């Protein structure tokens, strides 16, 4: 296992950055690791593996946690094999198997994209590798809606509607500058929720109608060696039914995106 991992850590294999929303889960990378797991957990082939068993066994046996293959799923699609850069990140991987409630959680992954995994790394799964620098699973969907309400003063149903719109748009691989910026804004930029929520109140139009055009991106010129994008949201005003836009600039030059300036109405060429 270690020799396989060492072959994938070369910086020459770097293919870009990833900021993705999805779900993480463990996979046995080989029969050797699977049999060792069953032995330590005192399981037989007749036992049903549960998340609780995975958590208890991996939490008590760090060498097995290190040996596991960790897969990132976006929607129903297996998208990446995720390798933690730090011991603290691996602990978060294991802790994610034991959430404090049975609710759905918002999980995010920030890291460096590498090549496709060799077949022996994860039982034949040849998914792209992501070296994870940050993994977050701090909020349930319910908690995040409450956080939006507290940060913006929006009604709960309005906050939930805006979040549903943005999560629909965030159903992407998070490996392009546009999608990294969009996913970052979805989880961190409450000014966007406030702006869209104020446009939405007091109506609650259908998700597909509200952000009818989704999201667009244009590069901001004259930024030197920085990569800055205008992230443009097209929406329908529920009162006038007029199609309008707003945008915000996001710097995606490095691993962690950040907002530049403030949210504005219209499009960059109309301001």
- What string of pLDDT tens digits covers the 271 residues of the chain? 443 444 445 456 899 999 999 999 999 999 999 999 999 999 998 888 999 999 999 999 999 999 999 999 999 999 999 999 999 999 999 999 987 767 788 999 999 999 999 999 999 999 999 999 999 998 899 999 999 999 999 999 889 988 988 998 888 999 999 999 999 999 999 999 999 888 876 555 454 446 666 799 999 999 999 999 999 998 877 667 778 899 999 999 999 999 999 999 999 986 5
Q: Is residue 21 part of a domain?
A: yes
Please check whether residue 144 lies inside any domain of the structure.
no
Task: Give yes or no: residues 88 and 207 share one domain.
Answer: no
Q: What's the first-to-final CA gap in the chain, in angstroms?
A: 55
Which of 139, 172, 198 lies at the terminal end of a domain, its last residue? 139
The answer to whether the CB of 164 falls within 8 A of the CB of 171 is no
Residue 44 sits in which domain range? Answer: 2-139
Nearest 5°: the CA angle 19, 22, 25 is 115
Residue 233, beta-bridge partner list: 215, 246
Among 106, 139, 172, the domain-final residue is 139
Count: domains in the chain: 2
The whole-angstrom distance between residue 265's C-alpha and the CA centroid of its chain comes to 27
Please tell me whether residues 126 and 198 are part of one structural domain: no
- Structure pTM? 0.90
What whole-number distance in Å separates Cα of residue 19 and Cα of residue 79?
Answer: 13
Are residues 85 and 8 located together in one domain of the fold? yes
CA distance 55 to 94: 6
Q: Using an 8 Å Cβ cutoff, are 80 and 72 in contact?
A: yes
């Amino acid at each position: 296992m270690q020799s396989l991992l060492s072959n994938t850590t070369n910086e020459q294999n770097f293919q870009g950055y990833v900021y993705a929303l999805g779900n993480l889960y463990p996979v046995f990378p080989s029969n050797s690791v699977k049999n060792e797991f069953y032995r330590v957990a005192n399981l037989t082939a007749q036992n049903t593996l549960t998340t609780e068993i995975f958590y208890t066994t991996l939490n008590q046996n760090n060498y097995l946690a290190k040996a596991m293959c960790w897969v990132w799923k976006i929607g129903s699609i297996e998208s990446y094999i995720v390798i933690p850069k730090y011991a603290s990140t691996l602990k978060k991987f294991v802790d994610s198997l034991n959430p404090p409630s049975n609710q759905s959680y918002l999980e995010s992954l920030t890291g460096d994209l590498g090549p496709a995994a060799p077949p022996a790394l994860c039982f034949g799964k040849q998914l792209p590798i992501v070296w994870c620098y940050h993994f977050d699973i701090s909020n349930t969907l319910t908690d995040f809606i409450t956080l939006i309400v507290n940060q913006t003063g929006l009604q709960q149903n309005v906050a939930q509607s805006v979040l549903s719109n943005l999560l629909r748009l965030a159903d992407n691989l998070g490996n392009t500058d546009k999608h990294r910026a969009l996913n970052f804004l979805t989880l961190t930029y409450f000014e966007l929720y406030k702006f869209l929520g104020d446009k939405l109140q007091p109506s609650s139009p259908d998700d597909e109608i509200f952000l009818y055009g989704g999201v667009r991106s244009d590069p901001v010129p004259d930024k030197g060696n920085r990569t800055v994008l205008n992230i443009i949201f097209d929406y329908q005003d529920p009162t006038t039914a007029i199609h309008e836009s707003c945008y915000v600039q996001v710097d995606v030059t490095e691993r962690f995106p950040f907002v530049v300036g403030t949210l504005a109405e219209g499009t960059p060429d109309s301001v």
